Amino acid sequence: MNKKIALTGIKPTGDPHIGNYFGAIKPALQLAEQYETRYFIADYHALNQTRDPEVLREQIYEIAAAWLACGLDPEHNLIYKQSAVPQTFELSTILLAFTPKGLMNRAHAYKAMVQSNTEQNRDPDDGVNMGLFTYPVLMSADILLFDADVVPVGSDQQQHIEMATDIAEVINRNYNKEVLKVPQGLIHKDTGIIIGLDGRKMSKSYNNTIPIFLPEKKLRKLIMKIVTNSQTIEEPKDPDKCNIFSLFKLFADQQQQNEMRKRYLAGGLGWGHAKQALFEIINETITPFREEYNRLMADKGHIDAILEKGSAQARELAEQKLVMLRKEVGVL
């Protein structure tokens, strides 16, 4: 039986951190057991923000190397670059013809910009480019081009998936058949919020992240900065109210967690000791990832080759879909 298709786009936005790894990368990679998986680097989406070509180029390599180093196996998963599949942009043009402007007016990212402009007495559309405004259409094209059954994303992307669904349904109704597969969001649960250095959710906007590929010394220095309370070494401590332990749990197996829990409750474990233990377990886990990441970043030709091989495959699939669509809409 054919497996269902899971597809997701990865925006190239520098330095992935531990929150990205446990919140997005790992769950997306695990889907490969159940689904036929397709991952792509959403480089033209990034052009809306990143205008410096050197920066964009570097970020594309970084995100590709990051996913590959974290275990994306290009032999068993399709990985490609959005920009290398021009059919995406042709489909986007088709979708635009069916997308009510009002639907785009309701997109969260656009609405937030309009609201902040209005509050600051600026023109409502100040700083809004058409790439941002039509972002949900391009994202719909990414998804609908490859007949995705499910789209694993964070909850911030849920609205975009619903828009893709809406647009696909409008088109299917117009042609009176299932021209486009109607996708479903697979929203990563926020139950396991990853805590950052300051105890808030780990996020670039809070500047409290632990990047995955930091060199060992910098990693240790960062972990020593985790905010704790002023309990003394002797005092017994509550592991369930501790930022250090919440990170430790992500990396430790059950037995390691039980042992650390006992040390917390027994007293005599200082915050410095807990941080050292956390550093050691993180470092042990990510050292092979870091080594692979550095190896890939030192051989960008190899990354190019992987992406081009996947992109060639993606173009073939996309062209089949477009031949059907061109006939369906009547340009062929």
Nearby residues of 250 by Cβ (< 8 Å), 6 or more positions away: 18, 22, 194
- The 8-class DSSP code of residue 211 comes to B
Identify which of residues 154 and 267 has a Cβ nearer to ligand TRP in the complex: 154
Judged by CB under 6 A, does residue 43 bind ligand TRP?
A: no
Q: Which stretch binds ligand TRP (CB under 6 A): 150-158, 241-249, 258-266, 307-315?
A: 150-158
**CA-CA distance, 165 to 154, in Å (whole number)?**
17
**CA-CA distance, 281 to 287, in Å (whole number)?**
10
Question: Whole-number minimum distance, CB 293 to ligand TRP, in Å?
Answer: 20
Number of residues that bind ligand TRP (CB under 6 A): 12
Identify which of residues 48 and 231 has a Cβ nearer to ligand TRP in the complex: 48
Judged by CB under 6 A, does residue 36 bind ligand TRP?
A: no
Judged by CB under 6 A, does residue 11 bind ligand TRP?
A: yes
- The 8-class DSSP code of residue 286 comes to H
Grouping H, G, I as helix, E, B as strand and the rest as coil, residue 25 is helix
Of the candidates 5, 9, 94, 110, which one interacts with ligand TRP according to CB under 6 A?
9
Of the candidates 6, 25, 31, 42, which one interacts with ligand TRP according to CB under 6 A?
42
**In the complex, which residue's CB is closest to ligand TRP?**
9
Per-residue CA distances from 285 to 114, 242, 250, 257, 279 (Å): 44, 21, 11, 15, 10
Judged by CB under 6 A, does residue 151 bind ligand TRP?
A: yes
Residues in 127-146 at the binding interface with ligand TRP, rule: CB under 6 A: 139, 142-143
Give the position of tokens 């959710």. 201
Identify which of residues 79 and 151 has a Cβ nearer to ligand TRP in the complex: 151
Supply φ then ψ for residue 150, to 5 degrees. -130, 150
What b/e sequence results for 183-222 when a residue is b if at least 16 CB atoms lie within 10 Å of its CB, and e otherwise? bebbebeeeeebbbbeeeebebeeebbbbbbbeeeebbeb
202 near 195, Cβ under 8 Å? yes
Question: Whole-number minimum distance, CB 83 to ligand TRP, in Å?
Answer: 12
Give the residue among 27, 67, 64 at the shortest CA–CA distance from 187: 27
**CA-CA distance, 121 to 296, in Å (whole number)?**
48
Query: Strand order in 150-153's β-sheet?
Result: 78-81, 36-41, 5-10, 150-153, 184-187
Of the candidates 157, 209, 243, 311, which one interacts with ligand TRP according to CB under 6 A?
157
Question: Whole-number minimum distance, CB 45 to ligand TRP, in Å?
Answer: 5
Identify which of residues 109 and 222 has a Cβ nearer to ligand TRP in the complex: 109
Of the candidates 6, 8, 41, 210, which one interacts with ligand TRP according to CB under 6 A?
8
Judged by CB under 6 A, does residue 167 bind ligand TRP?
A: no
**Other CB atoms within 10 Å distance of the CB of residue 132:** 18
β-pair type (78-81, 150-153): unpaired
Q: Which stretch binds ligand TRP (CB under 6 A): 152-160, 205-213, 240-248, 279-287?
A: 152-160
Of the candidates 45, 188, 275, 321, which one interacts with ligand TRP according to CB under 6 A?
45
Question: Facing residues of 10 across strands?
Answer: 41
Identify which of residues 152 and 239 has a Cβ nearer to ligand TRP in the complex: 152
Question: Whole-number minimum distance, CB 181 to ligand TRP, in Å?
Answer: 13
Question: Whole-number minimum distance, CB 13 to ligand TRP, in Å?
Answer: 8
Q: Binding residues for ligand TRP, per CB under 6 A?
A: 8-9, 11, 42, 45, 139, 142-143, 151, 153, 157, 160
